[in-house]
């Protein structure tokens, strides 16, 4: 009995000792934790941490991969000099890929794809966090930048558009002045009147279609949102209409202008002989008044001759209460998750977007930064709004492209636009309404097929 009591007593004593020790450890741990909380702040993510550093403390060899093989040895060298002046302990090196997507994708899984690059569209959205560094929450980034929703995953942004481009009518201001056109035409009726004034009072071609090269006719589609007057039309409203080319619909009204300028002989005399490269020089020299093109063409036309200041862009004329420029995001600049120079990488992203001038001077667009001023070429754009298209509902994503492909209407192709011009100048026995009826019938058949799959 005595031995059993002794064993029981020893067991109780050991239990009490262990509990006491554990209690002391817990208290010590709590005290340490409390000390940490009071003594230091939570570590900042790389996208924010670099902002707390002095420029001289940001250092390293920074590899930037780009698709601009045409200016990597010229303009990009100026970027390098300007950036390194601001961040003297960073050495920037460029790698230009001629087939950007095809060349960078095999490197993604090797983790060797530079410090800064343009996020390849071939990377599935869900895989983006595996390879690229977060740039901030969607809410925070949308307050500062346009177009960042395209490369976000679970409300976290991984890329910023290097430019946002738009479609309008590029025009020669000197020709307008000579013709007596005192203000930018706002409606289609005003535009046709202005083109007639150009024809009557100058030697310039009022509107150059570039029919011969064909692809420039596809540029007209980029301005349909302006004609519609709403960012909801293209990806939402149009998917609710099996016959979107009826009179009064945005597409009907939009392409009526293409038909009318051709029918009223306000285009080049022989559309079959047009030439894109020559047209840029002709417009710079005042031989062409207008062309419907994306903003990407501004810089090309401005530098095609000595009269850069004469070249500007205006919104496509419409009859709506709102005048919109529909924005399309260019490639998204990003930072590798495997970069060993993340402070320098994020400093480059910030400088490139906010200070380089690339978006306007090289891409012919506007900056993704909401704080950036609009380019001088938009000085006469008035109260035009810049908008991103409303995306399709999740269950309808991709349906518009499917319908377009199945119908062979080719919203973004030139074939049917050439037919339209041919009919307008009398080379085809078709009225405008005949063409729209044909488009409607093809679209309706494809619509029923795709939407009922």
Q: Give the model confidence (pLDDT) of 218-245 as tens digits.
A: 999 999 999 999 999 999 999 999 999 9
The residue behind tokens 């403390």 is 57
- pLDDT band of 382, cuts 50, 70, 90: low
Q: 264 falls in which pLDDT band (50, 70, 90)?
A: very high
| pLDDT tens-digit series, residues 15-52 | 333 334 444 444 433 434 333 444 334 689 999 999 99
pLDDT recorded at residue 388: 84
The alpha carbons of the chain give a radius of gyration, in whole angstroms, of: 30
Residue 307 has pLDDT above 60, yes or no: yes
| pLDDT over 60 (residue 260) | yes
Task: State what percent of residues in the chain have pLDDT above 70.
Answer: 90
Distance CA 195, CA 306 (A): 24
Helices marked H in 229-285 — which ranges?
Answer: 250-263, 276-284
Q: In the structure encoding, which two tokens stand for residue 226, read together?
A: 């302006």
- Cα separations in angstroms, 412 against 203, 214, 324: 32, 12, 19
Query: 351 in helix, strand or coil?
Result: helix
pLDDT at 280: 96
Task: Write down the pLDDT at residue 150.
Answer: 79
What pLDDT, on a 0 to 100 scale, did the predictor assign at position 391? 83
Strands 167-172 and 60-66, how do they pair?
A: unpaired
Query: pLDDT tens digits, residue range 400-427?
Result: 999 999 999 999 999 999 999 999 999 9
Domain over 49-164+332-373 is classified CATH 3.40.190.10? yes
Block residue for tokens 């100058």: 202
Given this model, what pLDDT does residue 383 score?
75
pLDDT averaged over every residue in the chain: 89
Residue 311 pairs in a beta bridge with 172
Residue for token pair 């090196």: 93
What is the DSSP-derived secondary structure letter of residue 318? -
pLDDT on residue 10: 38
Domain boundaries, the chain: 49-164+332-373, 167-328+391-451
Look at residue 11 and tell me whether its pLDDT is greater than 80: no
Q: Order of strands, edge to edge, in the sheet holding 156-157? A: 136-137, 156-157, 152-153
The CATH superfamily holding the domain 167-328+391-451 is: Periplasmic binding protein-like II (3.40.190.10)
Q: Please give the structure tokens belonging to residue 254.
A: 């939009």
Output the pLDDT for position 5.
35
Chain position carrying tokens 């306007």:
360
Instruction: Return the pLDDT at 25.
Output: 41
- What integer pLDDT is reported at residue 9 of this predicted model? 34
**For residues 341 and 203, is the Cβ–Cβ distance under 8 A?**
no
pLDDT band of residue 384 (cuts 50, 70, 90) is confident
Average pLDDT over residues 306-319: 94
Q: What are phi and psi of 290, to 5 degrees?
A: -145, 155
pLDDT per residue as tens digits for the range 328-338: 888 999 999 99
pTM value? 0.78
DSSP states along 375-439: PGGGTT-TTPEEEEPPPPPGGGTTHHHHHHHHHT--TTSSHHHHHHHHHHTTSSS--HHHHHHHH
Query: What is the rounded (10 degree) CA torsion for 402, 406, 412, 413?
Result: 150
């Amino acid at each position: 009995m005595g031995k059993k009591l002794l064993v029981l007593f020893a067991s109780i004593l050991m239990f009490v000792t262990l509990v006491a020790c554990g209690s002391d450890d817990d208290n010590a741990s709590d005290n340490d934790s409390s000390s940490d909380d009071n003594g230091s702040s939570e570590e900042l993510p790389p996208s924010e941490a670099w902002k707390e550093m002095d420029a001289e403390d940001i250092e390293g060899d920074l590899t930037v991969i780009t698709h601009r093989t045409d200016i990597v040895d010229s303009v990009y060298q100026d970027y390098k000099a300007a950036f390194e002046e601001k961040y003297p302990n960073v050495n920037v090196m460029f790698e230009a890929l001629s087939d950007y997507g095809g060349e960078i994708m095999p490197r993604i899984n090797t983790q060797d794809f530079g410090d800064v690059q343009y996020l390849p569209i071939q990377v599935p959205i869900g895989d983006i966090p595996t390879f690229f560094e977060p740039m901030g929450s969607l809410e925070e980034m949308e307050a500062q930048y346009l177009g960042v929703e395209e490369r976000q995953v679970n409300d976290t942004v991984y890329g910023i558009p290097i430019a946002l481009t738009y479609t309008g009518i590029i025009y020669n201001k000197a020709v307008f002045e000579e013709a007596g056109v005192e203000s930018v035409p706002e409606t289609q009726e005003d535009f046709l009147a202005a083109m007639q004034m150009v024809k009557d009072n100058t030697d310039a071609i009022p509107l150059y279609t570039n029919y011969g090269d064909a692809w420039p006719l596809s540029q007209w589609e980029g301005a349909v949102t302006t004609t519609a007057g709403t960012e909801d039309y293209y990806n939402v409203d149009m998917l609710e209409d099996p016959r979107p080319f009826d009179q009064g619909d945005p597409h009907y009204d939009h392409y009526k202008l293409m038909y009318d300028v051709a029918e009223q002989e306000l285009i080049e005399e022989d559309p079959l002989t047009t030439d894109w490269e020559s047209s840029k020089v002709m417009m710079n020299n005042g031989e062409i008044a207008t062309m419907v093109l994306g903003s990407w063409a501004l810089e090309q036309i401005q530098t095609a001759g000595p009269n850069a200041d004469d070249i500007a862009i205006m919104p496509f004329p419409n009859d709506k209460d709102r005048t919109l420029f529909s924005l399309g995001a260019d490639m998204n600049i990003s930072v590798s998750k495997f970069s060993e120079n993340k402070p320098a990488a994020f400093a480059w992203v910030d400088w490139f977007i906010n200070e380089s001038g690339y978006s306007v001077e090289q891409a012919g667009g506007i900056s993704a930064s909401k704080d950036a001023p609009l380019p001088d070429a938009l000085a006469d754009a008035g109260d035009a709004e810049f908008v991103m298209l409303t995306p399709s509902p999740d269950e309808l994503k991709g349906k518009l492209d499917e319908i377009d492909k199945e119908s062979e209407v080719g919203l973004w192709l030139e074939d049917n636009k050439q037919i339209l011009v041919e009919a307008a100048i009398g080379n085809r026995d078709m009225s405008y309404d005949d063409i729209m009826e044909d488009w409607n019938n093809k679209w309706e058949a494809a619509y029923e097929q795709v939407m009922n799959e």
